[in-house]
């Protein structure tokens, strides 16, 4: 499987990866991405980590079948445990919940190493991940979106700067996604607005004062993001 055969989500991760000496794919599963990164010259060498032996062996067979067995190391470990920062240029943590991703980063002693580019693709709780990153001295340089198997995804390009920054609640939800950039980015924002409204409606049905206040906050975020979709006009798009 060459880079051009990656599904849209993995292909986006591949495209966003900068050239480096060493790349790590955390939770490498079948190994398609780490093999593509090494095979395509994005990384001179690779490390694939997995917490379960079966997917790790699957990744090893994939690499060996593509003649990459001597360029990729396979580690049975939890997240980045046991991985050092020497020559490390890119860390990919994709296909997991946002809280799982932040736990992996929080648990890694070398997360503040300068020069490492993190490519993070949360399946859920992206707002929690963004908040944790900003609270812990990381900068989100950009986000890119894609659609795979009918679902829209965002990938965060992140570096450690040491600067703690404050962001409004709506930005924790939308991040650096620009709804005007392309169709996938617009769909990401539209789906987010729908989800915020759905949660708000559920809270409003309880009749509790605290829930109504929370629903109002969510609707305010939805209105601001709707404005971003409309190019600055905060009128509702749905």
Q: Read off the pLDDT of each residue in 157-180 and give the average, rounded to a whole number.
A: 97
Share of the chain above pLDDT 70, in %: 95
Q: How far is the C-alpha of 205 from the C-alpha of 215, rounded, in Å?
A: 10
Element (H, E) at 229: helix 209-229
Task: Answer yes or no: pTM beyond 0.85.
Answer: yes
Q: Read off the pLDDT of each residue in 209-227 and give the average, rounded to a whole number.
A: 94
Whole-Å CA distances, 174 to 49, 195, 210, 214: 29, 12, 24, 18
Q: How far is the C-alpha of 55 from the C-alpha of 123, rounded, in Å?
A: 19
* 15-51 pLDDT, tens digit each: 999 999 999 999 999 999 999 999 999 999 999 999 9
Q: How far is the C-alpha of 68 from the C-alpha of 215, rounded, in Å?
A: 52
Which pLDDT does position 4 carry in this prediction? Answer: 52
What does the block give as tokens for 133? 């990153």
> For residue 104, what pLDDT band results from cuts at 50, 70 and 90?
very high
Residue 236 pLDDT > 60: no
Sheet holding 43-50, edge to edge: 72-76, 43-50, 20-26, 88-96, 117-122, 151-160, 138-148
* 56-82 pLDDT, tens digit each: 999 999 999 999 999 999 999 999 999
What does the block give as tokens for 46? 């690779």
Q: How far apart, in Å, do the first and last CA atoms of the chain sit?
A: 41
Instruction: Provide the 3-class DSSP secondary structure of residue 1.
Output: coil
* 109-121 pLDDT, tens digit each: 999 999 999 999 9
Which pLDDT does position 237 carry in this prediction? Answer: 43
Cβ neighbours of 11 (radius 10 Å): 17
> For residue 218, what pLDDT band results from cuts at 50, 70 and 90?
very high
Higher pLDDT: 138 or 204? It is: 138
Mean pLDDT, the chain, rounded, equals 94
């Amino acid at each position: 499987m060459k880079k051009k055969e990656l599904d849209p989500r993995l292909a986006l991760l591949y495209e966003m990866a900068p050239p480096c000496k060493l790349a790590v794919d955390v939770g490498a599963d079948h190994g398609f991405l780490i093999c593509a990164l090494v095979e395509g010259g994005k990384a001179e060498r690779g490390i694939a980590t997995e917490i379960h032996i079966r997917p790790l062996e699957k990744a090893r067979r994939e690499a060996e079948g593509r003649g990459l067995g001597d360029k990729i190391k396979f580690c049975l470990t939890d997240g980045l445990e046991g991985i050092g920062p020497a020559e490390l240029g890119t860390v990919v943590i994709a296909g997991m919940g946002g809280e799982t991703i932040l736990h992996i980063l929080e648990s890694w002693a070398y997360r503040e190493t300068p020069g490492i580019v993190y490519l993070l693709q949360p399946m859920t709780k992206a707002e929690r991940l963004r908040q944790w990153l900003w609270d812990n001295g990381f900068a989100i340089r950009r986000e890119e979106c894609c659609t795979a198997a009918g679902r829209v995804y965002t990938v965060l390009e992140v570096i450690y700067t040491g600067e703690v920054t404050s962001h409004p609640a709506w930005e924790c939800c939308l991040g650096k996604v620009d709804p005007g950039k392309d169709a996938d980015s617009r769909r990401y924002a539209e789906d987010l607005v729908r989800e915020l409204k759905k949660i708000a409606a559920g809270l409003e049905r309880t009749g509790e004062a605290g829930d109504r206040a929370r629903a109002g906050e969510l609707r305010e975020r939805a209105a601001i993001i709707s404005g971003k979709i409309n190019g600055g006009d905060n009128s509702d798009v749905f």
